[in-house]
Structure 1
């Protein structure tokens, strides 16, 4: 492998991939070179690619900067990187940080608003993109960080943040007056993390999942009941909020037929397959919107404190629900991507890649 490398997928066919070599980037004044060190692969990363154009996820890591044509895209990943070179005061070589990373060996960022907690990437091409994705947190300034929980943070932190903010929005709106909350893709990490936050706080919590995942999902203890998609007609007809993480049109149609006007809210949360669900839903949940609201309500420190408390409670439980599989090197990243894309990852498995 060359000094650096990049993994990319064809934007028109996410199963077509390439690995290309490149030179180690150099840094100019105001820039920092990050060595991408450990990343995760979940259905969330596939979501970024599926919505790459609609939600501008392809714009975070432009392929042209890596010698690739516009037909290619770099699906964003979450994970840890180390500072390899720095020409920014307050950012030192060897510092470790967590953030939004490319599927590549290195990333050059323009570090701005540097403080003890980290910095933001102020690169011009990211200026108009959603700001939460531009934040990089030093492990030394991150209250949620524990070294022995790195893999859990890699796999769950972005998902848990979505789940945390989703649960907060539901609670913030008094559960929309519902007596039941129905969560599809209940065996997914985002699904059961949201359920963990919501369980016991209000309405009855019901998970929908495939027959093969019923036993696993019930074993989590996050739901009051778990039923298969085939048994939707057995649900009680109560004022119900639907939190759609599956993106399956047939599930939405079945719920609407069965519940009628008792379906008081229909919220698209994301995707765990490649069927966009936003158009058919009544509304779309986007975590940064609720984050901005709570940043105003609580302040940044208040939001961090609440998130950290929720994360620590969740992390204490989730380790028993997960088998982390660690691959090594760019080829393992490529294999992991194809496995997750194909839906071949069991709910108990989490893919982490050491690069």
Structure 2
């Protein structure tokens, strides 16, 4: 079984590794991955591997080496579970590897959770697996690429609405070219009547791409931050770039009502102890908003809203997303490397098939 190991300390450093298949124990099932997506989201998983716990989902048994989690679809090829028969296809959270051995347990809603002991204390949203039909591979690809990213986008939108946008008259999205940033811009633009402007921050090279999405009222490059209007504002940071964050905070000063940290796509510019003017940045953890809504609305309601939301944006994805399909775990190294180095084209959505 092949897998791509990532160095815990230098997340651009990867190597292919081959390990023998472990025999199943009572109640376990073996799933072979069909395909999975690679996006800047996976770079955030690696960069915050210990801070949030992503390295703990799929232990490697090798000191200092981790398996980056990916979203994808796999098929049960061997099972000692009465609940999960061979041939079942499941969408969910997998290691960057050819297979996953899990301990399936029905979740009461038609899906499964991995009840392995080492996952018990990890966020429940990542332990759930959803049965999907065998059909057009393109459906698997779009689901893996867009559902996790746009789910976060929609949860950010819901969280902002839930907090009345903290009284902001403008919402500033850092790294607006990222798919999560792009999705948030689009969701923010959906209300026909809104009291806020949408400001996208991006690099000069990605400016035309963000402008072409048509969701932002204004697009500024990182060297134009000083042009931000002195209005009550919220900053939603997808990149984790410490210098950009300092500039936004110093430019807006007391006008910045909330600063949210979401991703670390610019992981090499991230500084955990970054000191900024004004409000203290707060980390946005999507599973926490899901848990809040489940308690308020009951199970399944927010999940249905998320599904409807990401499918709305996926319907016109051909206008802003070019799906690139690569074959084999070995191909994942170059794709992940480009994402981690920040050289990937934001128009591309990368899928690894096995």
Shorter-normalised TM-score: what interval?
over 0.9
In structure 2, the residue matched to 1:156 is 146
* CA distance in 2 between partners of 1:278 and 1:167 (Å): 25
SS where residue 14 of structure 1 aligns?
Answer: coil
- What pairs with 1:119-268 in structure 2 (closer than 5 Å)? 119-140=112-133, 148-201=138-191, 202=194, 203-268=196-261
- Partner Cα distance (1:305, 1:329) in 2: 33
Q: Report what 2:307 is aligned to.
A: 308
Task: Decide whether aligned partners of structure 1 residues 322 and 277 sit closer, same or farther in structure 2, where only a CA change above 3 A counts.
Answer: farther
Alignment of 1:33-44 (within 5 A): 33-44=30-41
Rounded to whole Å, the distance in 2 between the matches of 1:331 and 1:147 is: 20
Measured against aligned partners, the alpha-carbon deviations of 1:198-252 in whole angstroms (never above 9, x if no partner) come to 1143311110111111111000012111111111222211000010112122222
Question: Is contact 2:75–2:87 with CA below 8 Å preserved after alignment?
Answer: yes
Moved over 6 A (4+): none
Instruction: Verify: 1:20 aligned to 2:14, yes or no.
Output: no
1:329-348 equivalences under 5 Å are 329-348=328-347
- After superposition, the C-alpha distances for 1:302-347 in whole angstroms (9 at most, x for unaligned) are 1122112112211112232111111101210112111211111111
Counterpart of 1:9 in 2: which secondary structure?
Answer: strand
Q: Tell me, yes or no, if the aligned pair for 1:244 and 1:268 is still in contact at 8 Å.
A: yes
Q: Is the 8 A contact 1:184 1:191 kept in 2?
A: yes
Counterparts of 1:183 and 1:254, CA distance in 2: 14
Q: How many residues align?
A: 345
Q: Measure the CA separation in 1 of the matches of 2:249 and 2:333.
A: 39
Aligned Cα root-mean-square deviation (Å): 1.8
**Equivalent position SS for 1:88:** coil
Kept after mapping to 2: 8 A contact 1:25/1:33: no
Shift of 1:36: 1.3
Q: What is the deviation of 1:187?
A: 0.6
Q: Is this contact kept in 1: 2:29–2:81, CA < 8 A?
A: yes
CA distance in structure 2 between the aligned counterparts of 1:273 and 1:131, rounded to whole angstroms: 27
Secondary structure, aligned partner of 2:158: helix
What SS class does the counterpart of residue 25 from structure 2 fall into? coil
**Deviation sequence 1:168-208 (CA, Å, 0-9, x none):** 00001111111000001011101011111111433111101
1:58 is aligned to 2:55:
yes
SS in structure 1 of the partner of residue 316 of structure 2: helix
Partners of 1:34 and 1:148 in 2: how far apart?
Answer: 20
Contact 1:183 1:206 in 2 (8 A): yes
Shift of 1:154: 1.1
Unpaired runs of at least 5, structure 1:
none
1:297 aligns with 2:322: no
Instruction: Report the equivalent of 2:27.
Output: 30
TM norm structure 2: 0.93
CA contact (8 A) 1:26 1:33 kept: no
Could you tell me which residue of structure 2 aligns to residue 319 of structure 1?
A: 318
Cα distance in 1, alignment partners of residues 154 and 186 from structure 2: 9
Is contact 1:83-1:95 (8 Å) kept? yes
User: In terms of mean alpha carbon deviation, does 6-15 or 283-292 score higher?
Assistant: 6-15
